[in-house]
């Protein structure tokens, strides 16, 4: 079987915005060279790690499985011409930022009668929109579901939707390493390595526990070391990024990982990952990690500086740590760690002052950061709570291609007390402050959000 894997082009930042939202967002981007550079920088961070893993799963399943891998974010891909080379299958995957392009590629493959399979976060979020004849929808982890699809495809009778039968998640012990050699020619911003999946904290707004389970699952440390060594052989100066929701959450695992790296003599160079803010209380573990190389990107979910908002997200630890945010940033900065803070605006009790406080915090502490509009994504506890609340008041919602998401998004916006126009203008103003060119002279680039 000859398969073509495509990492679809990431959307322009205006894609998905309504007409009245586009002008203020275009204005803020046009006024900041820093933001323009970071948006472009971000595009090169989508290295298709999930697709590379799925390709390895397919190759491990069948010795006759051959594949090519192309990335539209790194080079022009003449997709229609490429399909004429005689592929038996096209595989697509990506985030919601890549969803519209995925749909375009699906349509072209169908025009040429080439079977298609789709997966990734976009598919797990909105599986209905991909359901059509001749398209396999893998709405879950490839280790568990892609082999099943391939078996059915060879029999000539693939199902339309493949979903996990258990909420536990696939075992990562036997997860094959991504086929990094297939992307060695691309100069990505980051080269991704993943060590864990899942999250037990179940914050109301977060999709991770709903998609990937409420327990941490680990790859064996020895396997992670092998992947790191392969990446270093292909990209000697790679900027590593550990694509974990919270690399330091399981402190024992993280400690073992960095100790084994030290034993193997591995230096990471620049690297990044995500963590909750509480890691600042474990300086010994941080120091152990920093011995492997400078931690230039530590994504921290601060979420809000409003205790009232933090108390609504279903994770009491967030509100309890609020008073420690400044001390945490001080410790991180003291250790030379580059902090990227994640904040949200649009909680049901949000105030304009909360948005101002987040922007002030980012600027005053000289960290990188983004403030996103809170969205009730399908699969989250927030989405289900709002859906139940809406239907108890107004009756059942009819499902569209995006399920009931569009209506629930509007419902939350109404509850926040800000119109769509007001929310857009407030966020645009915050970004104009955060990405003021005068604040970032000589600063190392870090990825920017898609607005």
Q: 305 and 174 in one domain?
A: yes
Per DSSP, the chain holds a count of helices (H) and strands (E) of: 18, 14
Q: 350 and 211 in one domain?
A: yes
Contact at 8 Å (CB) between 416 and 410?
no
Quick: pLDDT tens for 41-54. Answer: 888 887 889 999 99
Kindly state whether residue 446 falls inside one of the protein's structural domains.
no
Q: For 360-370, b where at least 16 C-beta lie within 10 A, e where not — what string?
A: ebbeebebbbb
Q: 204 and 110 in one domain?
A: no
Q: The domain that contains 152 carries what CATH number?
A: 3.40.50.2300
Q: 182 and 118 in one domain?
A: no
* Minimum mean pLDDT range among 86-95, 164-173, 407-416: 164-173
pTM of the model: 0.93
> Which of 142, 163, 184 finishes a domain?
163
| Domain count within the chain | 2
Where does the pLDDT of residue 333 fall: very low under 50, low under 70, confident under 90, or very high at 90 and above? very high
> Which of 163, 195, 228 finishes a domain?
163
Percent of the chain with pLDDT over 70: 98
> Which of 106, 138, 163 finishes a domain?
163
Nearest residue to 447 via CA among 132, 97, 105: 97
Q: Is 133 helix (H, G, I), strand (E, B) or coil?
A: coil
Kindly state whether residue 215 falls inside one of the protein's structural domains.
yes
Q: The domain that contains 188 carries what CATH number?
A: 3.20.20.70
Q: 260 and 123 in one domain?
A: no
Where does the pLDDT of residue 21 fall: very low under 50, low under 70, confident under 90, or very high at 90 and above? confident
Q: 252 and 118 in one domain?
A: no
User: Which residue range is the domain that position 238 belongs to?
Assistant: 22-46+170-439
Quick: pLDDT tens for 199-221. Answer: 888 899 999 988 888 888 999 99
The DSSP output letter for 404 is T
Q: 216 and 72 in one domain?
A: no
Kindly state whether residue 448 falls inside one of the protein's structural domains.
no
Distance between CA atoms of residues 176 and 121, nearest Å: 19
């Amino acid at each position: 079987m000859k398969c073509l894997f495509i990492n679809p082009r990431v959307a322009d930042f205006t894609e998905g915005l309504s007409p009245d939202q586009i002008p203020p967002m275009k204005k803020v981007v046009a006024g900041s060279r820093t933001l323009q550079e970071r948006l472009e920088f971000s595009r090169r961070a989508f290295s298709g790690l999930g697709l590379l893993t799925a390709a390895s799963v397919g190759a491990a399943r069948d010795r006759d499985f051959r594949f090519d891998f192309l990335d539209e974010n790194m080079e022009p891909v003449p997709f229609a011409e490429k399909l004429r080379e005689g592929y038996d299958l096209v595989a697509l995957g990506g985030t919601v930022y890549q969803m519209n392009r995925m749909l375009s590629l699906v349509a072209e493959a169908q025009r040429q009668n080439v079977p298609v399979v789709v997966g990734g976060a976009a598919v797990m979020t909105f599986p209905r929109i991909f359901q059509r004849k001749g398209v396999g929808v893998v709405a879950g982890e490839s280790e568990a579901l892609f082999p099943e699809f391939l078996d059915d495809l060879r029999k000539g009778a693939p199902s339309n939707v493949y979903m996990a039968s258990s909420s536990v998640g696939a075992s990562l012990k036997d997860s094959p390493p991504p086929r990094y050699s297939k992307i060695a020619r691309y100069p990505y911003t980051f080269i991704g390595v993943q060590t864990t999946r899942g999250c037990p904290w179940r914050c109301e707004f977060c999709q991770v526990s709903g998609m990937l389970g409420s327990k941490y699952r680990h790859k064996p440390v020895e396997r992670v070391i092998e992947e790191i060594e392969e990446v270093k052989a292909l990209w000697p100066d790679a900027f590593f990024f550990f694509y974990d929701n919270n690399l330091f959450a399981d402190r024992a695992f993280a400690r073992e990982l960095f100790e084994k790296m030290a034993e193997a003599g591995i230096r990471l160079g620049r690297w990044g990952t995500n963590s909750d803010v509480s890691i600042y209380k474990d300086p010994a573990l941080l120091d152990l990690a920093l011995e492997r190389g400078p931690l230039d990107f530590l994504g921290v979910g601060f979420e809000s500086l409003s205790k009232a908002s933090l108390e609504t997200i279903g994770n009491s630890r967030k509100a309890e740590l609020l008073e420690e945010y400044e001390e945490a940033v001080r410790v991180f900065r003291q250790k030379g760690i580059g902090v990227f803070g994640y904040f949200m605006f649009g909680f049901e009790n949000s105030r304009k002052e909360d948005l101002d406080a987040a922007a002030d915090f980012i600027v005053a502490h000289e960290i990188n950061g983004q403030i996103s509009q809170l969205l009730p994504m399908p699969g989250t506890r927030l989405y289900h709570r709002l859906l139940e609340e809406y239907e108890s008041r107004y009756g059942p919602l009819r499902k569209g291609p995006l399920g009931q998401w569009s209506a629930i998004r509007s419902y939350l916006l109404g509850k926040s007390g800000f119109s769509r126009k007001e929310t857009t203008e407030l966020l645009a103003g915050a970004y104009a402050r955060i990405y003021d060119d005068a604040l970032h002279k000589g600063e190392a680039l870090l990825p920017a959000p898609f607005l």
